[in-house]
Amino acid sequence: MKWLGGGKSLGYKLNMATALLAIGVCLLVGLYYQNDVSERIRDVARHEMADLVNSLNLALETKANRSDVQRVMGALSTKESIRRISLIEGEKITADNHAQHIGRTVAESFGSQVQQLIRNTRTKNSDDPFLEKDGVIHQTALLYLISPERQRLRPFVLYVAYDPAALEQAAQKGFMEFILIQSLGFMLLLFINTLVQQKVVLGPINAIRRQIEADPQSELALKADDELGLLVESYNASIRQRIMQAKELEDSRRYIDTVINVIPVQLAYVDASRCYRFINRRYLVWLGKSEAEVLGRSVTDVLPPPVEELIVPYQLRALQGNQQVFDAEFDDKYFQATYVPDVTNDGEVVGFFACVEDLTPIKANERKIESYALELEHKNADLVEAREKAEAASRIKADFLACMSHEIRTPMNGVLGILSLLEKTELSIQQKHYLDVASTSAESLLTLLNDILDFSKIESGKFEIDEVPFDLIQLLDDFIQPFAIRAEAKGLKLLLDISGIHLRWVRGDPGRIRQVLVNLVSNAIKFTEVGWIAVRVQASEDTANGVSLMVSIEDTGIGISKDKQEVLFSPFTQADSTTTRHFGGTGLGLSIAKRLCELMDGDIRVISAEDAGSTFKFHLRLKSEAASGAEWPPALNCRAPLLAGELGASERMLFELLDSWQLRPALLESNTELAQTPALAAADWLIYSVPEHLVSITQELQKMAAFATEKGLKFLAIISHRQQIGLAPTILSSCHYLCRPMQALKLVDILSDSDGNDVVLPDDTQSQLNDSAQILLVEDNKVNQMVALGMLRNLGLKHVEVVTNGLQALAALQHRQYDLILMDCLMPEMDGYQATQAIRKGEAGQKHKDIKIVAMTANAMKGDRETCLEAGMNDYIAKPLHQAEVARVLERYIPLDSTSCAPSNPLSADTLLFDRHCALELMSGDSELLGDILKVFAEEMAVYLEAFESAMGRRDFAAVRTAVHAIKGAAGNLCMSPLAGVAKEMEMAARRLDWVYLEAHQAEFIDVLRRTLEQSQLPTA
């Protein structure tokens, strides 16, 4: 047992398992061997039986007397293993190796089981006649022999009693030898297994045990690449992890101790017997004791008696499991104590944690705050009084601003209104241009006035920025022209670069953007004596639905010194005091521009040096706006424009713009002969920049237009505003031109074959309101009365009565029925608000209580619209009045006149439709060239007329517009002004999808076209 390792050792357990397995194997092999031996003995018995049958058949085959049979039976029974052999015929024993049984019956000689075995053999009821009983094997066999008595073949049963004892003894001897050999093999295996275990398993394990007993914290120094090596590596990993955890635990303990000792509260732990088990440094400092004097001592021994007496009830309740929080005062010091019970999982309270906080500084601060609060109560009373005074002053200021807004905007309404009425009259191109500039300037002035009135809102942070969709290109076109005239008058060049704009429609506040531009460009013109001002605009989408607008205004003016730039955007500040005296101004514009940029999520900055010009840059964040049919850059019919003439900075910017539109522009330098340039072959437009020093340019334009026509090119002239004044009427009606800096939308119209330079005719196609409508105009200002009456008459309203205040309006309503009232808000005796409220109350009669009332007010303050609607008015129109806005509002309440599309001013039969003299001037007097062109014109007109009639039959507005547009352009270039005018009216109707007008004027248009062709083909006198 000791050799095996002891009863509890791993070697004993492993070897005992091997031994038990060997015993089990021996038992199984023994059982199998015994079973196999029995089966082999039976096989031997069967073979012996077969040999006996064969021998008997051979011996008795020819001779079968009784003596021979007995002699054969005796010979066969000589084998030691055969105890008895009998030959049975029927139920009688014929022969037997024991003579006493011969002649006896089967029943007399055999037991019942043997008898049954014999019968089964005779009747063939058993395939294997075999019986093993009492250590003897009984076998029978059926054979056919010649009967000694009858001498013929008869069935016989051969019975044999076989004794297997000798075979069993031999088998037992072999079995014992096998068991012995097997046992020796197992013992040898057990011995070898034990040696291997000792070497491979038990030895290393004992070595590991000895290392662990020597140093449990060290890693094992055992190298192996088997499972034992994995076990050692796992043990070493666990040792390393345990060492790391111990270090982390030590660090955590150190951190906790440090935190506990530095936090500004007193901490301790008291057990169930009220003895201190833990205390932090701050608590020890407060007690004035060391840790040895406190730990393990009771609370009664450590704390002063007054303190201990105060806290005992709380400590006892904490030991009962109830958390305690209480305040205490001792020696003019204030404390707040918290006792938290320490409860085990079994619900037993084994102590409590004590946390004591010194509240003395807080209490001192509370006393100060109480003193301050008392002082504030006295000051609040003063502040309330001051606030009431400030609110009263604010109301006075608001009333003043409202009054100033009304008084300033009222004359502006007159100016803009008269300009609007003038726009509806028949004007020349120059007059139309000046009218546009005057209107734009007046509206810019009105915008500036509004911004000045709103300056107080900007200062108070209550100013709001609108967010509406607007056309950025249109804004720049409208903004630049008034300043171009001012700059040209001063001898400066104003340049506009929009090649960096990649979208046209955006959402933002166009009025505020225009105000910033106006301010910066006005300053640039004001402070620049020689040189140029360049406005560069870039707009592109940079985020989802976001637009970045970058604008720079660069000039060659007086510049700004570095020290003045820091205060440049402060209110009422200019570069120096002499600037105001020399140039004028308040210094408020840049401050407003900066505030507006910041309100629009942007910024503004300046780059400048004294006597070196300035560059102002501002950046704004806008939103994109999808607008149908307003793609930008535009798609043009123009492919390869040729720029010639005096090519300055403005023309080179035009070149860059056309290039950014994916065209193929070409520049012709001034020293190159135009007729000889190879670029003419690929060009489809000639854009000619007229030299600025030329005053009369009519002949120059006629010459260049004729040259373009001769080369099959379309012609566009670039001129100055000064040169536009001296243009002849024939040039105005037959030649495309633009003033510097070019307006982008007009440029697009021209390059798209849209004629933007026709003589401006009265717009007879405008929708008219029902002229039977009865209107009451309540307005006290005479100029405003004139403006409103003029606009209403332009809209077809003839029945308008004017009164000057609310009382007169109430009186008028009692004597006449009206469809609508246009009500001014601020009037003497009774204003518009009071008059509206009186009408709604029925003071002008019950039948007028629901009459439509539209407010007209020059107030610009926020909330005016809401005030009008709250007073009972139906709608609101702000002054200055704009006819389009007036029409838009009135159309909601007054139906359109169905006859507004009736033909106006039909051409008489003797009207001159073709001015041959004008056309000859355009061709430089070349009548042959004019004749050729007129022939081509007639052929083209036949094609366009057929296209027009086909489009009218299909009600295809786009096709109608294309056909009449082409006819209009060709007629205008050949001095056929009546045809161009009629075609223009038809094009405008097609644009607004007015089928009634197109159908009503179709016959007139075709008649004018045919009569014009007839006059153009008449021979010259």
Q: What is the pLDDT of residue 572?
A: 47
Distance CA 790, CA 425 (A): 12
Q: Is the pLDDT of residue 564 over 60?
A: yes
Mean pLDDT, rounded, for 428-441: 68
Least confident of 47-61, 130-144, 569-583, 807-821: 569-583
Q: Do domains 1-212 and 263-463 have the same CATH topology?
A: yes
For residue 603, the surrounding DSSP H or E stretch is: strand 603-608
Mean pLDDT, rounded, for 111-125: 83
For residue 542, the surrounding DSSP H or E stretch is: strand 532-543
Mean pLDDT, rounded, for 480-506: 87
pLDDT category at 421 given cuts 50, 70, 90 is low
Q: Is the pLDDT of residue 174 over 80?
A: no
**Max intra-chain CA distance, the chain:** 182
The sign one gets for the Cα dihedral 767, 770, 776, 782 is: positive
pLDDT category at 854 given cuts 50, 70, 90 is very high
Distance CA 127, CA 946 (A): 122
Q: Which fold does the domain 263-463 belong to in CATH?
A: Beta-Lactamase (3.30.450)
Q: Is the pLDDT of residue 569 over 80?
A: no
In CATH, what is the architecture of 916-1017? Answer: Up-down Bundle (1.20)
Q: What is the residue-averaged pLDDT of the chain?
A: 79
pLDDT, one tens digit per residue, over 784-817 is 787 788 788 877 788 889 999 999 999 999 888 8
Give the three-class secondary structure for 495.
strand
pLDDT category at 584 given cuts 50, 70, 90 is very low
Q: What is the pLDDT of residue 536?
A: 94
For 36-63, the DSSP string reads: HHHHHHHHHHHHHHHHHHHHHHHHTSS-
Q: Which fold does the domain 775-893 belong to in CATH?
A: Rossmann fold (3.40.50)
CB 173 within 8 A of CB 166: no
For 102-164, the DSSP string reads: TT-BHHHHS-HHHHHHHHHHHHT--SS-EEEETTEEEEEEEEEEE-TTT-SEEEEEEEEEE--
Q: What is the pLDDT of residue 834?
A: 92
Q: What is the pLDDT of residue 730?
A: 56
CB 506 within 8 A of CB 622: yes
According to CATH, the superfamily of the domain at 468-624 is: Histidine kinase-like ATPase, C-terminal domain (3.30.565.10)
CB 960 within 8 A of CB 998: yes
Mean pLDDT, rounded, for 72-90: 82
For the entire predicted model, the pTM comes to 0.45
Q: Which fold does the domain 641-752 belong to in CATH?
A: Rossmann fold (3.40.50)
Mean pLDDT, rounded, for 715-728: 79
Distance CA 800, CA 755 (A): 38
What lies within 8 Å, CB to CB, of 648 at 6+ separation is: 493, 689
Percent of the chain at pLDDT > 90 equals 8
**Among 627, 593, 600, 602, CA closest to 472:** 627
Q: What is the pLDDT of residue 616?
A: 93
Distance CA 682, CA 713 (A): 10
Q: What is the pLDDT of residue 806?
A: 92
Pairing of strands 92-96, 685-689: unpaired
Give the three-class secondary structure for 688.
strand
Least confident of 331-340, 622-631, 961-970: 622-631
Pairing of strands 641-645, 685-689: parallel
Mean pLDDT, rounded, for 743-769: 59
**Number of residues that this document lists for the chain:** 1021
Distance CA 346, CA 750 (A): 97
Q: What is the pLDDT of residue 906?
A: 55
Q: What is the pLDDT of residue 957?
A: 82
Q: Is the pLDDT of residue 741 over 80?
A: yes
What lies within 8 Å, CB to CB, of 955 at 6+ separation is: 995
Report angle CA 251, 253, 254 to the nearest 5 degrees: 65
Report angle CA 254, 256, 259 to the nearest 5 degrees: 110
Selected residue with higher pLDDT from 127 and 760 = 127
What lies within 8 Å, CB to CB, of 216 at 6+ separation is: none
Q: What is the pLDDT of residue 821?
A: 93
Least confident of 482-491, 731-740, 744-753, 835-844: 731-740
In CATH, what is the architecture of 1-212? Answer: 2-Layer Sandwich (3.30)
pLDDT category at 956 given cuts 50, 70, 90 is confident
What lies within 8 Å, CB to CB, of 321 at 6+ separation is: 341, 343, 349
Mean pLDDT, rounded, for 105-127: 82
Q: What is the pLDDT of residue 241?
A: 86
Rounded to the nearest 10 degrees, what angle do helices 10-59 and 66-76 cross at?
Answer: 160
pLDDT category at 494 given cuts 50, 70, 90 is very high
Q: What is the pLDDT of residue 549?
A: 93
Q: Is the pLDDT of residue 835 over 90?
A: yes
pLDDT category at 585 given cuts 50, 70, 90 is very low
Q: Is the pLDDT of residue 756 over 50?
A: no
Q: What is the pLDDT of residue 737?
A: 85
Residue 880 preceded by cis peptide, ω within 30: yes
pLDDT, one tens digit per residue, over 27-56 is 888 788 778 777 888 888 788 888 888 887
For 747-788, the DSSP string reads: HHHHHTT----SPPPP-TTS--B-TT-EEEEE---HHHHHHH
pLDDT, one tens digit per residue, over 876-918 is 887 777 777 788 888 888 865 544 444 445 555 667 788 887 7
Tokens 């390869």 locate to 640
Q: Is the pLDDT of residue 496 over 90?
A: yes
Distance CA 279, CA 908 (A): 119
CB 614 within 8 A of CB 608: yes
CB 228 within 8 A of CB 201: yes
Selected residue with higher pLDDT from 187 and 64 = 187
CB 881 within 8 A of CB 413: yes
> Hey, which of 200-204, 405-409, 672-676, 963-967 has the most confident mean pLDDT?
963-967
pLDDT category at 427 given cuts 50, 70, 90 is low
For residue 537, the surrounding DSSP H or E stretch is: strand 532-543
What residue segments make up the domains of the chain, in order of their start? Answer: 1-212, 215-250, 263-463, 468-624, 641-752, 775-893, 916-1017
Q: What is the 3-state secondary structure (H, E, C) of 351-388?
A: EEEEEEEECHHHHHHHHHHHHHHHHHHHHHHHHHHHHH
Sheet holding 641-645, edge to edge: 666-667, 641-645, 685-689, 714-719, 736-739
Selected residue with higher pLDDT from 269 and 381 = 269
pLDDT category at 615 given cuts 50, 70, 90 is very high
**Among 503, 520, 504, 441, CA closest to 478:** 441
Rounded to the nearest 10 degrees, what angle do helices 957-973 and 927-954 cross at?
Answer: 170
